[in-house]
């Protein structure tokens, strides 16, 4: 009988001894145990194996169960890990978005700061309104783009320069050129003028020189008499001087004749 051993079948020594104890007859010819007397090792092994199978199966089942549990746990852990990874990814995306927003906000803030700095610099360079046309400040400009006469210092001086002068048309008062002259007034009557100064003379005892021309402005104009009138009092003050010509719009009676087309005046003080 051929004993078929299952792979990994282990026979215990006790089983072999028992088998030999009961059947210890050797073949004289060969000195070996007869095959027929050999115990059925396969059966023994099968029995032994059968006897152990429940335990083996139980072990296998236990191992399998442990493995399943471990796998389940691993799966659970994997799920948790995946969820955590997803959360982490979402958190990272949120953080990145927040960072971008913060950087954009920082850019806006930098730009606003630059604008504010520029505005501050501009404001610092601007001239306060209170300093315009004020002592210690700056002169303002009139509607004609020039510094108003009131903001100019007195012209001329006592050293020889005229403090005021004018060249005007005696026919209609048009001022051709002047300095420190506020106005020319054509008074009633013929050839009566009042010339006012922007900045008054330091006193009324100033010296004034006059000149005039009448007749044909283009060709044969003649020297006219210009003087301070005697009949008008006062004829002068620190702020004005009255003039009279014999010829403005008049020859004999003062109401007729060739007009004075040029009256000239210079005042020294």
- Given the complex with other proteins, which of 175 and 264 has the nearer CB atom? 175
Q: Which is nearer to other proteins, 78 or 185 (CB)?
A: 185
State the nearest-atom distance from the C-beta of 177 to other proteins, in Å: 9
**Measured from the CB of residue 239, what is the shortest distance to other proteins in angstroms?**
7
- Beta carbons within 8 Å of 5's beta carbon, 6+ residues apart: 41, 42, 45
**CB 134 to other proteins: min, Å:** 18
List all residues 6 or more positions away from 144 whose beta carbon is below 8 Å from its beta carbon. Answer: none
Taking the least distance from each CB to other proteins, the nearer of 189 and 211 is: 189
- CB within 8 A of 154, min separation 6: which ones? 163, 180, 199
What's the closest the beta carbon of residue 235 comes to other proteins, in angstroms?
15
Q: Between residues 118 and 141, which has the closer beta carbon with respect to other proteins? A: 141
Nearest distance in Å: CB 131, other proteins: 21
If you write DSSP's letter for every residue of 184-238 in order, what string do you get? EEE-SSSSEEEEEESSPPSSS--EEEEEEEES-TTTT-EE--EE--SSSS--EET
DSSP-derived letter for residue 248 is T
CB 160, min distance to other proteins, A: 23
Nearer to other proteins, 20 or 194 (CB): 194
**DSSP summary character for residue 138:** B
Residue 257 CB, shortest distance to other proteins, in Å, is 5
Nearest CA to 196 among 181, 207, 174, 216? 181
Min dist. Cβ of residue 204 to other proteins (A):
16
The residue (of 213 and 240) whose beta carbon lies closer to other proteins is 240
Footprint of other proteins on this chain (CB under 8 A)?
A: 142, 144, 146-150, 166, 168, 171-176, 178, 181-190, 194, 196, 198, 239-240, 249-253, 255-259
Query: Which of 41/241 has CB closer to other proteins?
Result: 241
**Alpha-helix residue ranges (DSSP H) falling in the chain:** 13-22, 41-125
Burial of 121 (0-12, 13-18, 19+ CB in 10 A): exposed
d(CA 12, CA 21) in angstroms, rounded, equals 14
Task: Classify each residue of 248-257 as buried b or exposed e, where b means 16 or more C-beta atoms within 10 Å of its C-beta.
Answer: bbbeeebeeb
Residue 41 or 184: the one with the smaller Cβ distance to other proteins is 184
Nearest to 240 by CA among 191, 187, 204, 190: 204
The residue assigned the tokens 């890990």 is 81
């Amino acid at each position: 009988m051929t004993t078929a051993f299952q792979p990994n079948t282990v026979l215990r020594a006790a089983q072999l001894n028992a088998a030999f104890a009961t059947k210890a007859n050797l073949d004289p010819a060969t000195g070996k145990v007869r095959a027929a007397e050999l115990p059925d090792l396969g059966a023994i092994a099968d029995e032994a194996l059968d006897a152990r199978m429940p335990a083996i199966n139980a072990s296998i089942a236990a191992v399998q169960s442990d493995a399943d549990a471990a796998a389940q746990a691993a799966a659970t852990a994997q799920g948790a890990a995946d969820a955590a990874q997803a959360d982490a990814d979402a958190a990272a995306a949120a953080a990145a978005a927040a960072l971008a927003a913060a950087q954009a906000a920082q850019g806006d803030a930098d730009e606003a700061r630059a604008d504010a700095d520029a505005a501050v610099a501009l404001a610092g360079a601007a001239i306060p309104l209170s300093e315009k046309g004020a002592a210690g400040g700056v002169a303002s400009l009139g509607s004609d783009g020039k510094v108003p006469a009131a903001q100019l210092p007195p012209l001329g001086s006592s050293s020889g320069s005229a403090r005021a002068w004018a060249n005007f048309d005696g026919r209609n008062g048009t001022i051709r050129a002047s300095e420190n002259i506020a106005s020319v007034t054509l008074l009633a009557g013929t050839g009566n003028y009042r010339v006012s100064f922007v900045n008054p003379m330091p006193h009324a005892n100033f010296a004034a020189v006059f000149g005039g021309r009448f007749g044909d402005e283009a060709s044969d104009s003649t020297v006219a008499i210009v003087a301070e009138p005697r009949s008008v009092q006062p004829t002068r003050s620190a702020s004005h001087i009255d003039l009279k010509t014999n010829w403005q719009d008049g020859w004999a009676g003062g109401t007729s004749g060739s007009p004075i087309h040029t009256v000239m005046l210079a005042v020294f003080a």
